Every structure is written in structure tokens, then in C-alpha cells.
A and B are shown apart, each in its own frame.
Chain A
Amino acid sequence: MTQRRATLTIQTPEGIAFPLVLADPVVRFLALAIDRGCIYIASIVLSSALNLLGVISPDLAGATIMLAIFVLSIGYPIFLEWTWQGQTLGKRIMRLRVIDEDGLRLHFDQIVIRNLLRFVDALPAFYLVGGIASIVNARGQRLGDLAANTIVIRHPRILSPDLEQIAPPAYNSLRDYPHLVARLRQQLPPEGAHLALQAVLRRERFDDSARVELFAEIRTYLAELTPFPAESTESMSDEQYVRNVVDVVFRTEPSPSVTPLDLSKR
């Protein structure tokens, strides 16, 4: 079995790489279930409306309903993926999108082929063939995706960190060194920044001894990345140091705190 990957990184000729988060088969199945529900409801509404044709001819009404439901079941994903650039209602709710495997523009023929191949992916029941294929495939592709060179990606909801939970420090001595703050923001990798932020946000959940140990380790790591002058940090606890780093990294504007200059004015 191929090792399944969570992300697909597209490397552009300009040397830029951007990651795409691949959709999980379970989430895809949920999106499919929503779409099937939509088709079912639309079929009932359509049948009721077309039944009115029975006044003219019951035979014509029956034929129109049969054809309309058939066109709806095949055309629904094709039409929506084309007009919503790779999304159906189910995919939109589950934050999924069909894109070209190489990150290129999705073509209409790709949409048609991936949807026509559902006839095989859905065999023998409940998308068993397609489900197995997407689990086995490294890019999570069902057979229709393989034939059409498409993948399904997930757009996770990106929430900005809730900095309101962290009381801004009354005075952040690190801000006295803007050039070092800028260097720290440049040198600190996103994972490191996220780690420091999470440590501050979850401080209450740690045992005292574990908390002391954790913040000491994070401080050592941060201090190695960008050392600040000793006079600005020597009297600072490890936790306060990490809090101050989070403050300068995540708050673009200085916290509305009392500065030494303000104090002197008073």
C-alpha cells in the first residue's frame, strides 16, 4: 500500500512552494452524502412540479420526470463543480474543492470524466471501489480522479490566534529593541511561533513542575534564535520571556501598555 500523504506541495518554476491539504476519504464521503441528499430533495421537488404535465399527458409527464431525474443525478456534480470552480454544495459545506493534480486550471472535460467514472467508483455499493482506491492512493484519488488528473483538497478554516486570552504585558522590554524584534520575527519558524503561543494559551493545563520545565525549554530555544541584551531579560521569568516573545511576534501594534517614556511624563 502506498504511503498516504496529508499534503501535496506544488513547486512553481519561480521556486515558490505552496502546500495543498488533501481531503480525507471520510470527509469526502460526508460531502457525497450531503450531495446525494440534495439530489434526492431536488428530485422530489422536480417530480412534483413536472407532475403538473400530467394534465396534458400522463405519459409525457412520466417520461419527463424520468429524464429530469436522470439528468439531475448526473448533471448536478458536473454543473456545480464547473460553476463553483470545483465545489458542490456538499464540498462547500465540508470545505473541499476539486482541483487539477498539478495545481493548474480545472478543465470542463476533467469535471465530466471524473463524474462519469462515478459509475465504476460507486460499485458494488456505497462507493466501495472509489473508497478503497482513495484510501490506497497516495493522493487520495478515487478512480475518477485518477482518470481525470484531479485531486480533492481541503481548505481548513484558518482562525487567527485569540490573543485576547493573553493579557498584554504592562511593559514589554523586548520592544525597546525593534531591530532584534524584527530579527526574531524573521528567524522564528512558524512552528516555533505556534508552539510558544500554544504554551501560553494552555498554561493552566500544565502541572507546576511541567510548566516551569516547558517554559524554560522554550526560552532556551527562543534565546538561541535571537539573543536579547542581558539587561532587558535577566530579571524576567521564563514564562514572562515567552509571553513577551508571543506579544512581539503576534501583535503587530505595541500593546497599549505603560511605557517608561509615559511614566517619565507622569
Chain B
Amino acid sequence: MIINIQRFTEQEKPHWDRLEALLQRRERDGLARMELPDIVEFHALYERAAADLARLSTYSGERDIRQYLEALVARAYGEVHETRRHAVRFRPLHWLTTVLPCTFRRHIRAFWLAVAVTLVGCVLGSFSIGLDATAKDILMPFPHLRQDPSQRVADEETESDNRMEGRKARGAAWYVTHNTKVAITTMALGVTWGVGTIVLLFTNGVMLGAVCADYAIAGETPFMVGWLLPHGSVEIPAIVLAGQAGLILALALIGWGDAVPLRQRLRRSTRDLMTIMGGVAILLAWAGFIESFLSQYHEPTIPYWVKIAFGSIQLLLLCAYLALAGRKHEKAEAE
């Protein structure tokens, strides 16, 4: 086919410009809905540009026009052929009350697996300390955990009330950043077909079990529960949720009994991963605050029963939220 390139360009340029303008508007405000006439026009312009590209594709001297059209068609292609659910404006309340708990329940098997791995680690850590008390030098990551529990309880119960004064906020920031890094790594290691995630969850479980057993054997159970429960009732579930996200990623990679191709499986899981990790970030921010402003204060400043009651109620509320929130929406969607 022979074409007069000059006339062709003059004739088609206004259509390319219009397509470019629509694309720019779309890219600038991607969340805005397009009206039906705009959609019809956009599709017609895309097809026209694609046809122009086909006509030019073997036309040797017009490399610049061809490359311009390739870029234009590539951008429009991404918009026209996108079949994933359209990104809607983020509604924080809806996300918190519906999207997050529904996503959590949709992948409940991955969550139970993460819980099981953590519990196995806990049991092993407890047994290790029970059998050999010197194992805590290996099992416990922080130096203050390695000291004698009774000694620590005696020290902290006799210290002045304001021992955290002047470093509470920095402490909270450190807990938030450190725990968030651990959570992200736990999720990201799902890319190792879940092996890395399982190892991290198991290791966390071992450390937790070892600490609990160490204090229980020393007869300091009220101190230990009062110390760990206020922040642990949120922090530990958050790490397990990150493990759930890692296992979702791993399951998408492995694809057991799923005939859908790998890329589609991964595409399907990214939004759920982001949702769960969003929830993890919120939980860890709260846990960091509690750990610094409440958990580090013991009797006589705060009675243990108050801290234990606070942690227990918090845990119950978290369980109720994850188990019950958004049920109506789920039912409505099912119907």
C-alpha cells in the first residue's frame, strides 16, 4: 500500500492529539469515571491510531512518527484492555470495616497455617528452655531477656515511676519501625515459595515460647502476662497476619490445584497482600505505642490485673473484628 505520508499525517494528527488529550486526562485523574460518549470516542480513537500504526509499520522513512504512534497505542492499549476491577476512590472507613476483615477471612487457611507454625515454634522454644535453661543465650535475641526473670522483676518493680520518662516516644518509634521491618520481611519472604516466611514465623514462635517458659518456670507468670499481653495481643497477631500475607504470595506462586496461569494468580493476589499489610501497619503502630507507654510500666505503678484485663479485652476485640466485621457485605455479595 502506498500512502502520501504528508497528507496522511495532516489528516490523522488531530485524532492522535485528541487521543493523547483523553489519555492525559485519564492519567491525571485516573479515578474519575469516564462518561459513555467519552468511552466510545476513546475506543474509536484507539482503534484508529492502531490502524494508522499498522499502515505505517513498514514505512521506512517515518521512524519518528512510527515510534510516536507505538508509544501512543501502547498507552491507550493499557487503558482499553484493562479488565481488572477499576480502582475506586479509597474509602478508609469502608476499607477498615469491610475490605480488610473480608480479605482476611477469604484467606483464612493461610492464617491458620501461620498460626500453626508460630505455635509449633512456641512449643519447641518452651521445651528447649524447660530442658536446658542455658539455651536462652541462643534463643533470645535481646540482652535484657537473658537476665534472670526474678531479678528483672525485682529491679523493675522497685524502679521509680518515671524510668521511661524522656524516651517513651523514641521507644514507640523504634518498636514501630523495627516490627514493621520484621512484618514486611515476613511477607516478602513468601516469594521464596513460603520457606522464608515459615522460617521467620517459626523463629518468632521459638523466641516467644522461650521467653514465656523462662518467666513461668521462675514463677513470674503475672509479670510476664502483664508485660507481654497489652502490646503482644496486637503485635503477635500482626506478625502472624504478615505471615498470612507471605503464605498467600507463596500459594499464588505454587498454585496447588489452581489451573490459572502463574501471572494471573499473582495478579489476583497483589491487592489482597496490600490490604493485609495495610492492616498489619496499623496494628503495629498501635502496638508500638502501647509497648512504650503501657507495657513497660509494672506494679506498683500499674496493677498487673489492669494490664492483663486491657490486653485480654484488646485481643477479644481484635478477634471479634476479624471474625465478624463486614459479614453483611459478604452476604450481599454472595447473593
Which residues of A come within 8 Å of B, CB atoms?
Answer: 10, 12-16, 18-20, 57-60, 62-64, 66-67, 70, 74, 85, 99-105, 107-110, 112-113, 116-120, 143, 146-149, 158, 160, 179, 182-183, 185-190, 192-194, 249-250, 252
Nearest Cβ in chain A — how far from B182, in angstroms? 10
Indicate if the CB atoms of B82 and A105 lie closer than 8 Å.
yes
Indicate if the CB atoms of A66 and B73 lie closer than 8 Å.
no
CB < 8 Å: which of A16, A66, A109 contacts B50?
A16
Indicate if the CB atoms of A190 and B63 lie closer than 8 Å.
yes
Q: Tell me the dominant secondary structure on chain A's binding face.
A: helix
* Complex Cα spacing A1 to B70, Å: 31
Q: Which 6 A-B pairs have the closest CB atoms?
A: A63-B169, A63-B173, A193-B60, A188-B60, A249-B61, A66-B173
Indicate if the CB atoms of A116 and B277 lie closer than 8 Å.
yes
* Complex Cα spacing A117 to B47, Å: 37
B208 neighbours in A (Cβ, 8 Å): none
- Known contacts A112-B274, A143-B191; A120 and B196 CB within 8 A of each other: yes
Closest partner residue, chain B, to A194 (CB atom): B63
B263 neighbours in A (Cβ, 8 Å): 101-102, 149
Task: Write out, one digit per residue, whether chain B residues 251-275 have a CB within 8 A of any chain A CB (1) or not (0).
Answer: 0010000000001001100110110
B67 is an interface residue with CB less than 8 A from chain A: yes
Nearest Cβ in chain B — how far from A264, in angstroms? 26
* Complex Cα spacing A185 to B274, Å: 51
B177 is an interface residue with CB less than 8 A from chain A: yes
Indicate if the CB atoms of B166 and A185 lie closer than 8 Å.
no
Closest partner residue, chain A, to B80 (CB atom): A12
B4 is an interface residue with CB less than 8 A from chain A: yes
B116 is an interface residue with CB less than 8 A from chain A: no
Closest partner residue, chain A, to B168 (CB atom): A59
CB < 8 Å: which of B60, B66, B181 contacts A192?
B60
B334 is an interface residue with CB less than 8 A from chain A: no
Indicate if the CB atoms of B271 and A109 lie closer than 8 Å.
yes
Indicate if the CB atoms of A186 and B2 lie closer than 8 Å.
yes
Task: Write out, one digit per residue, whether chain B residues 274-304 have a CB within 8 A of any chain A CB (1) or not (0).
Answer: 1001000000000000000000000000000
Nearest Cβ in chain B — how far from A117, in angstroms? 5
Closest partner residue, chain A, to B174 (CB atom): A66
B180 is an interface residue with CB less than 8 A from chain A: yes
Nearest Cβ in chain B — how far from A53, in angstroms? 10
- Known contacts A66-B173, A252-B6; A107 and B270 CB within 8 A of each other: yes
Indicate if the CB atoms of A119 and B184 lie closer than 8 Å.
yes
A187 neighbours in B (Cβ, 8 Å): 58, 60
Indicate if the CB atoms of A120 and B166 lie closer than 8 Å.
no
- Known contacts A63-B170, A67-B173; A103 and B74 CB within 8 A of each other: yes
Interface residue count on the B side (C-beta < 8 Å)? 64
* Complex Cα spacing A20 to B77, Å: 13
Nearest Cβ in chain B — how far from A162, in angstroms? 13
B187 is an interface residue with CB less than 8 A from chain A: yes
* Complex Cα spacing A63 to B176, Å: 10
Residues of B167-193 contacting chain A, CB below 8 A: 167-170, 172-174, 176-177, 180-181, 184-185, 187-192
B1 is an interface residue with CB less than 8 A from chain A: yes
B14 is an interface residue with CB less than 8 A from chain A: no
B66 neighbours in A (Cβ, 8 Å): 190
Nearest Cβ in chain B — how far from A20, in angstroms? 7
Indicate if the CB atoms of A62 and B60 lie closer than 8 Å.
no
Task: Write out, one digit per residue, whether chain B residues 32-76 have a CB within 8 A of any chain A CB (1) or not (0).
Answer: 000000000000000100110110011111011011001101100
B180 neighbours in A (Cβ, 8 Å): 70
Nearest Cβ in chain B — how far from A231, in angstroms? 22
Nearest Cβ in chain A — how far from B42, in angstroms? 13
B79 is an interface residue with CB less than 8 A from chain A: yes
A to B CB contacts below 8 Å, 16 in the list: A13-B81, A14-B50, A63-B173, A66-B170, A99-B78, A104-B81, A109-B271, A117-B188, A118-B188, A120-B189, A146-B191, A147-B253, A149-B270, A185-B5, A185-B60, A187-B60
B27 is an interface residue with CB less than 8 A from chain A: yes
- Known contacts A120-B191, A149-B266; A158 and B64 CB within 8 A of each other: yes
B3 is an interface residue with CB less than 8 A from chain A: yes
Indicate if the CB atoms of B61 and A250 lie closer than 8 Å.
yes
B332 is an interface residue with CB less than 8 A from chain A: no
Closest partner residue, chain B, to A99 (CB atom): B78
